[in-house]
Amino acid sequence: MTLLDSAVWGGKFYSEGWQDSATEQPVTEPATGDRLGTVGLASAEDVNRAAARAAEAQRAWAATSPQQRAAVLRRAGELFTEHAAEIEDWLVREAGSVRSKAGFEAGLAIGECFECAGLPTHPQGEVLTSQDARWSLARRRPAGVVSVIAPFNFPLILGLRSVAPALALGNAVLLKPDPRTAVSGGVVIARIFEEAGLPAGVLHLLPGDGEVGRAVVEAPEVRVISFTGSTPVGRAIGEQAGRLLKRAHLELGGNNALVVLPGADVAKAASAGAFGSYLHQGQICMTTGRHIVHESLVEEYTAALAAKAEALPVGDPARQDVALGPIIDRRQLERVHGIVTDSVAAGAKVAAGGEIDGAGYRATVLTGLTTDMPAWREEIFGPVAPVISFATTEEAARIVNDCEYGLSVGILGDVGTAMKLADRIDSGKVHINEQTVSDEPNAPFGGVKASGTGSRFGGATANVEAFTETQWLTVRPDIADYPF
């Protein structure tokens, strides 16, 4: 039996084993519309039962030794390695990933588990000074039950990067993947940890609609919500969590800038720009959505970028060697095209692409933009590269910051100039002489402004802060004397 044999999970959700669901949803291949299987959907009542059970199981899981929890995470990493090819196939077919992107995502999952295997034995607090004759400690304790809500674009890693550290630090988890990628973003994770020996009741897989999303936030047992997705939904979850006095870690949208400085190598810059804008059809929160190019290079850069865009084939990544796969669904495909056509109607010019190609969209370059056009102002979530010029670094900094988002920025060219520019930029991440898409399991990840609530993913410091609570503990050798 393979890891993802549908006889195990078909028509079911995972909550202390695989449970039959009253409601099912087809798993669909976006490139062809073919049916890949059927996933079970949870209800709000299922969520409430799972949350109650998770709270019970969490106490026992937190009481296990750090070595036991680390062993489960290491075994999960080994299982991701052993089943990488099978998992990659699902990422290609269900999420529309090209093969290289699927391999990159599976590799991140392996690294995430091994990185998180060190969390159980990581320092869990600090010794404080005290004016009294006592020991004073600030120690980190598991938050309890954590709800993880993950999107469709990098479904495996964007769920796992919260699930793995939360489990490693002694929490129980309710995982709600996007229903469009419920296998690669949910079933894969549940099956891996089931096979890795995670005790029953600690992890629950609960695919579903908005009602299920509200339930995993509102369940009384849930103390922390980790959400990755759109800014409008993130705002709603943040408001809901605030009313309930729960912590919400929000990793939201981005309209990321790539700045090409004067004197930069144009061929290399265009290659970086193409990768940043067209990887996974531009369906990445870190996608390069704005190309800000010095006026001395803008014509040459635009021509080079357009040539690369025209050479990138679009198609079905499961059956063809293509650079761009399908857009996740027809609604999003039409939204991407609508933003392009609205911008052209406002005066922008298409230097390459600008067309629907089957279930995908041609790699597109737009010029002649003003900063109030939709293709410049909005997060497109498609393979569209708008280009605009600047004259001075002061102007470049102003253009970069004139955006509601602040997730990732790339700066290409002279390092000294780039360093000075980086100091003036509002962004959670800045990459000098790299494009905007980058992620490593040990690196902090997060944005500012409308891109979210800062770095709450990646690395021990961010993970411990995200998924534990601080408890002040004091100890005296004898009962203290009091004046009453």
What's the CATH number where 144 sits? 3.40.605.10
Q: How far apart are CA 379 and CA 452, in angstroms?
A: 14
Tokens 């026992």, located at residue: 60
Of 252, 287, 320, which residue sits at a domain end? Answer: 252
Question: Would you call 377 helix, strand, or coil by DSSP?
Answer: helix
Catalytic residue among 113, 116, 218, 285: 285
Quick one: 127 and 276 in the same domain? Answer: no
Shared domain check, 314 and 232 = no
pLDDT in tens, the chain (484 residues): 689 999 999 999 999 999 999 999 999 999 999 999 999 999 999 999 999 999 999 999 999 999 999 999 999 999 999 999 999 999 999 999 999 999 999 999 999 999 999 999 999 999 999 999 999 999 999 999 999 999 999 999 999 999 999 999 999 999 999 999 999 999 999 999 999 999 999 999 999 999 999 999 999 999 999 999 999 999 999 999 999 999 999 999 999 999 999 999 999 999 999 999 999 999 999 999 999 999 999 999 999 999 999 999 999 999 999 999 999 999 999 999 999 999 999 999 999 999 999 999 999 999 999 999 999 999 999 999 999 999 999 999 999 999 999 999 999 999 999 999 999 999 999 999 999 999 999 999 999 999 999 988 898 999 999 999 999 999 999 999 999 9
In the structure encoding, which two tokens stand for residue 406, read together?
Answer: 């602040």
Residue 447 lies in a domain: no
Q: Is-catalytic flag, 251?
A: yes
Domain shared by 236 and 262, yes or no? no
- pLDDT of the residue at 455: 83
What is the predicted pLDDT for the residue at 1?
A: 61
Same domain? For 239 and 263 the reply is: no
Q: Do residues 14 and 39 touch, judged by C-beta distance below 8 A?
A: no
pTM, to two decimals: 0.96
- Best CA proximity match to 362, nearest among 381, 337, 335, 331: 337
Residue 88 tokens, joined: 């990659």
DSSP state of 124: -
Do 180 and 328 have their domain in common? no
Tokens, residue 77: 């990493």
Query: CB of 308 within 8 A of CB of 291?
Result: no
Give the CATH number for residue 398.
3.40.309.10
Residue 187 covered by a domain: yes
Q: How far apart are CA 21 and CA 286, in angstroms?
A: 35
Do 214 and 299 sit in the same domain of this protein?
no
Q: How many domains does the chain have?
A: 2
| Together in a domain, 323 and 201 | no
- Do 232 and 113 belong together in one domain? yes
Instruction: Indicate if 16 belongs to the active site.
Output: no
Residue 48 placed within a domain: yes
Structure tokens at 340: 């392009």
Query: Which residues span the domain enclosing 378?
Result: 256-432
Q: Residue 318 falls within a domain, yes or no?
A: yes
At which of 206, 223, 252 does a domain end?
Answer: 252
* One domain, residues 131 and 48: yes
223 and 308 both lie in a single domain: no
Question: Domain check: are 112 and 134 in the same one?
Answer: yes
Looking at the structure, tell me whether residues 136 and 107 fall in a common domain: yes
Catalytic-role residue among 112, 251, 379, 403: 251
Give, to the nearest 10 degrees, the angle between helix 210-218 and helix 231-243: 40
